[in-house]
Amino acid sequence: MKAASCAVWLLLSACVRTVPLPDRALVQRATTDDGWELELVRYDAQGPVTGRPVLLCHGISANARNMDLDEGHSLARWLSAHGRQAWTLSLRGTGSSSRVDVRLGRGPISFDDYWRHDLPAAIRHVLAQSGAPQLDYIGHSMGGMVLYAYLSQGGQGVAAAATLGSPTRLDWGTVLDRVLAQAAPPLLPKSGALPSAFGSAVAAPFQGGVADDFFERLFYRRESTRVASWQRLMAYGTADTSGPVARHFLQLASSGRFLSADGRLDLRADMGRATTPLLVVAGAFDRIALTPAVKDGFRAWAGPKAWALISKANGAQAEYGHMDLVIGEHAAEDVWTPVLDFLRAHSTALTHP
Amino acid sequence: MLGAVIAGLLLAGPTVSHRELVVSDGARLVVTKVRPRSAVGTVVLFADVGFGRTLLRPLALALAERGRTVYAVDVRGQGSASSRGGLVEAATVDVPAVLRLAVSESGRPVDVVVHGWLGTLVLARLAGPDAPAVRRVVAANTPVLTELPNRATERFLRDQGRFTALLSSPDGAEVFSQLFAPEVRGGARVRAALGWAARDLGPQRSAELLAWMRAGDFPLGTSTVGAALKGFDRPTLQLLALGDGFAPPELASPLREVSSAPVVVRTFTRLFAAEDYGHASLLASPTAAKDVFPVIAAFLEAP
């Protein structure tokens, strides 16, 4: 029975082709100060270097492929084509980075691990490899929250940053809030991970079969993202979800606060000490990181900042949901271009090759 | 015969009456009063600038069916009311006059449902030392953080807030959709109905609103809206519509940081609701009767 299930899964998964990384993408490993290995993928600048290297970080239940889904949907390759050395990061427990392994003393994974250990290790690695004194950073969803936490606690090495759909307050009285608060806790492992990668891969071939289904309502809009792109993201852009991280997010949703996983740090309050230039980007129809949730982080930020609401009313070619910001058909023009413009506006003289 | 009388009584709907209210500076407002057979409380509805009683008719009837006496108002510049004056007069003259009328006739504090930018002015008015006797507030897409929401809003206001122009072309209809009713069920027909419930803002109100958004605050009597809101202290249900392009949820959401009283937030998105409601559709789309009105009624029915 188990073998048959595996066979069916393999058959279905094969329906959605995994697009390999391009030959020029160099997979590297960085080791954190607590002994985890992280996957980093380097995309060298095409043509003259125009600015600092850029580190890209994905959100929860995701991996580095969110930033390089395929040739036509790749923030990493787009930055590289615009003269930036781009790096994608898979946080611990995702991509080919280390997994929880109790025998090796690894795990469980908390939100604090991401900003206390993973981000510093990734930044050190990129700076060492590139020779740049500082880098720029783009985080999607939780990838932006990780940056907020890191910089709010005095993290170094980031010259300018952009967050895409990154909330700092999660209590908005939606039906989803109430459903998750009641139904999710018993389902979440206390130390392990939810098998969301497996579930997504199995569900991938069926995506788009029914218009306006739950996934579409929650994650993307067909006017922005092709079903084929969404299927690919489901097939190889997802990762297992750490139970403690998911529990932490539920606590944030019930408390209305942005706290560290150990509850000791009020990260939102500490964002009031940050000085790094920041562009905060929100999709007007993001049903996960609602615009007020994203704006909350913008308001909390003390450093130089700008707000970009991606919407037709602001001239975008389509309305944007949560994942459209990174895999949308028009994301390069509507989202990534203003991000790069912001990073350029906060650039200093180039000091690396 | 007796059966027919009983059936008639049981089936009798609320009584709807309309009247003019001439306020202290001579402006003429229009008040619709909806009275149920048996009233358990009173609620006054204020629609946003440009809209008015017509937009709120479905909500008024729904609340009346739940036993509320409802006042729905055209303040100056809305519906059939006078045009004279602008936002300041609407806030400092019209709103207090209507609330005094409702409190006087009901004999006790009333509840209010406010909407959009006019709603912000009402909240500011409720925060003053001589505030009207208001018990609970429902704030629908009501900004407390003031800035230009987007380029389309800026263009609309620079064009003097002409709803009629929006509704007379496909491009204009697209803008109307982006700002006021993005994904309304029923499509163009319902959207057009919402649009025709509006009235052009005119040069003064458009200029005032644009200046308010650009400056981040608005003078109101001897104070400003921003300063007045710091004293806001009424238990409030805040309704946020993700698809609102005219008074977006990110501008409304800081209310719970401003208010000294509890603020319950309810956000409506397409995930579980029928629509990503917009500025007008949140309170007037046909599906709002199922998704939104019961939430409002339940909040107002709390002791």
Domain assignment of residue A250, yes or no: yes
Q: Indicate the pLDDT class of residue A353, thresholds 50, 70 and 90.
A: very low
User: B6 pLDDT exceeds 60?
Assistant: no
- Note the Cα A173 to chain centre separation in Å: 24
Domain assignment of residue A350, yes or no: no
Tokens of B33: 């009063």
* Beta carbons of A291 and B250 less than 8 Å apart: yes
* Beta carbons of B269 and A174 less than 8 Å apart: yes
Would you state the pLDDT for residue A273? 97
* Beta carbons of A175 and B276 less than 8 Å apart: no
Average pLDDT over residues B114-118: 98
Task: Pick B272's closest partner by Cβ from A175, A294, A309.
Answer: A175
Min Cα separation A309/chain B (Å): 8
Locate the chain B residue with the closest alpha carbon to A217.
B271
The whole-angstrom separation of Cα A105 and Cα A139 is 28
* Torsion of the alpha carbons at B255, B261, B267 and B272, rounded to the nearest 10: 170
- DSSP, collapsed to helix, strand or coil, labels residue B12 as coil
The whole-angstrom separation of Cα A241 and Cα A248 is 12
Locate the chain A residue with the closest alpha carbon to B147.
A307
β-pair partners for A135: A158
Domain assignment of residue A351, yes or no: no
Q: Indicate the pLDDT class of residue B303, thresholds 50, 70 and 90.
A: confident
Min Cα separation B74/chain A (Å): 28
The whole-angstrom separation of Cα A155 and Cα A106 is 24
Q: Indicate the pLDDT class of residue A14, thresholds 50, 70 and 90.
A: low
Average pLDDT over residues B84-100: 96
- DSSP, collapsed to helix, strand or coil, labels residue B112 as strand
> pLDDT tens digits for A141-168?
999 999 999 999 999 999 999 999 999 9
Residues of A with CB under 8 A from a CB of B: 171-176, 217-218, 282, 284-285, 287, 290-292, 294-296, 299, 309, 311-315, 319
B16-301: CATH topology is Rossmann fold (3.40.50)
Residue showing tokens 């740090």: A265
Least confident segment among A32-46, B42-56, B149-163, B268-282: B268-282
* Beta carbons of B271 and A294 less than 8 Å apart: no
Tell me which chain B residues have a C-beta less than 8 angstroms from the C-beta of A313: 149-153, 175, 178-179, 245
Domain assignment of residue A352, yes or no: no
What letter would DSSP give residue A103? G
Q: How many structural domains does chain A have?
A: 1
Whole-number percent of chain A with pLDDT over 90: 84
Nearest Cα to B216, choosing from B144, B116, B120?
Answer: B144
DSSP conformation letters of A163-218: EES--S------HHHHHHHHHSGGGS-SSSEE-HHHHHHHHGGGTTSSTT-HHHHH
Would you state the pLDDT for residue A185? 83
Q: Decide if B148 contacts B154 (C-beta within 8 A).
A: yes
* Torsion of the alpha carbons at B21, B25, B83 and B193, rounded to the nearest 10: -30
| Phi/psi-derived region of residue A267, left when phi > 0, alpha when psi is between -120 and 50, beta in every other case | alpha
B148 touches chain A (CB under 8 A): no
Domain assignment of residue A276, yes or no: yes
> pLDDT tens digits for A295-341?
999 999 999 999 999 999 999 999 999 999 999 999 999 999 999 99
The whole-angstrom separation of Cα B34 and Cα B69 is 6
Average pLDDT over residues A194-215: 91
User: B5 pLDDT exceeds 80?
Assistant: no
Would you state the pLDDT for residue A352? 42
| Phi/psi-derived region of residue A39, left when phi > 0, alpha when psi is between -120 and 50, beta in every other case | beta
Indicate the burial class of B223 (C-beta count within 10 angstroms; 0-12, 13-18, 19 or more): middle
Beta strand segments in chain A, E: 26-31, 37-43, 54-57, 86-90, 135-140, 158-164, 193-194, 241-242, 278-283, 305-310
Average pLDDT over residues A235-257: 95
B152 touches chain A (CB under 8 A): yes
> What is the residue range of A38's domain?
2-345
Min Cα separation A198/chain B (Å): 24
User: A171 pLDDT exceeds 70?
Assistant: yes
Rounded to a whole number of angstroms, the distance between the first and last alpha carbons of chain A is 57
Q: In CATH, what number is assigned to the domain containing residue A274?
A: 3.40.50.1820
B171 touches chain A (CB under 8 A): no
Nearest Cα to A282, choosing from A166, A171, A176?
Answer: A166
Domain assignment of residue A353, yes or no: no
Least confident segment among A128-142, B164-178, B207-221: B164-178
Q: Decide if B266 contacts B299 (C-beta within 8 A).
A: no
Average pLDDT over residues A267-296: 98
- DSSP, collapsed to helix, strand or coil, labels residue A54 as strand
Tell me which chain B residues have a C-beta less than 8 angstroms from the C-beta of A294: 250
Q: Indicate the pLDDT class of residue B186, thresholds 50, 70 and 90.
A: confident
Domain assignment of residue A143, yes or no: yes
Counted across chains A and B, CB pairs separated by less than 8 A come out at 83
- Amino acid at position A192, single letter: G
What's the angle, vertex CA A191, arms to CA A185 and CA A195, rounded to 5? 75
